[in-house]
Amino acid sequence: MRPRLSVAIAALLTALAAAVAACQSAAPAAGPNRAALPTMERVALGANACWFKSGDPAFAAYKLAPELNSFTGRPRILLVHKSSPESRPLLVVQAEGSPARLQAFGPMMQEPVAGRIAGDVNRWSAGNKACS
């Protein structure tokens, strides 16, 4: 009688393992973290690489000032004049919540480069590292 019980337990464990494996394989692939901080980290890395390190002339007069450690729950990046970094920011990009709600504002959003800024920020926040 004991061998029959061990065969039944083994069969039950095998079925359970197969069910667990099926559930795990059906799970969707994990995408980028959509919370505010990881979103703004991606945006800051993209801006630094594509706007500044690349030598893009549209951003040559500016400097990136990331403020990712925010106690307000709104991590952000600022673009300021390279010659006067203490001056008022010309662009603020910030995120809040999970999933992150992005905002971009400041004088640069009234300039011709505004469409490009919006496209780049949206692309980077979604996890795409490409430059425009």
Q: What is the pLDDT of residues 75-110, one digit of tens each?
A: 999 999 999 989 999 999 999 999 999 999 999 999
Rounded Cα distance between 116 and 113, Å, is 5
Q: What is the pLDDT of residue 32?
A: 80
Task: Give the Cα separation of 89 and 120 in Å (integer).
Answer: 19
The alpha-carbon radius of gyration of the chain (Å, integer) is 24
pTM (2 d.p.):
0.75
In a domain, 118, yes or no: yes
**pLDDT, average across residues 41-64:** 97
Tell me the residue range of the domain where 92 lies.
Answer: 36-125
58 is a domain residue:
yes
Q: Given a cut of 80, is residue 17 above it in pLDDT?
A: no
Residue 2: inside a domain, yes or no? Answer: no
User: Is 19 a member of any domain?
Assistant: no
Q: Is residue 76 part of a domain?
A: yes
How many structural domains does the chain have?
1
Is 46 within a domain? yes
Task: Please report whether residue 74 resides in a domain.
Answer: yes
What confidence score (pLDDT) does residue 4 get? Answer: 54
pLDDT for res 72: 85
Any domain includes 18: no
Indicate the burial class of 94 (C-beta count within 10 angstroms; 0-12, 13-18, 19 or more).
buried
